[in-house]
Amino acid sequence: MGILISCKDASRLISQMQDGQLPFGRRMAVRLHLLFCDACTVFLRQLRFLRATMQRYTRD
């Protein structure tokens, strides 16, 4: 993977970002990808939504 990544790669890295920090190069590649890609930006928002959902599930 270089700095230009596909949605397929980006979506995996976006998921991985929810579980810890990515290495610098990967992080930059995701950031760059998100600047131009609405579908992956939506995917990122959905993963954050899922996290908020699961947190709310066990709290009042």
Partner 1 sequence: MTESDFATRINGHRAYLLRVAVLQLRDPALAEDVVQDTLIAALQGEAGFSGRSSVKTWLTGILKHKIVDAIRKKSREPAMSTLDEESRIEDFDALFDDTGHWESPSSDWGDPEAQLGRTQFFDIVEFCLEKLPPNTARVFMMREVMELDGSEICKELSITSTNLWVILYRARVALRLCLEEHWFAARSRTA
Give the footprint of partner 1 on this chain (CB under 8 A): 6-9, 11-12, 15-16, 18-20, 38-40, 42-43, 45-60
Q: How far is the CB of 43 from partner 1 (least distance, A)?
A: 8
Distance separating alpha carbons of residues 46 and 19, to the nearest angstrom: 15
Distance separating alpha carbons of residues 15 and 57, to the nearest angstrom: 20
The answer to whether 22 touches 32, Cβ cutoff 8 Å, is: no
Q: Looking at beta carbons only, is 20 or 24 nearer to partner 1?
A: 20
* 24, two tokens: 């610098």
Q: How far is the CB of 16 from partner 1 (least distance, A)?
A: 5
Q: How far is the CB of 28 from partner 1 (least distance, A)?
A: 18
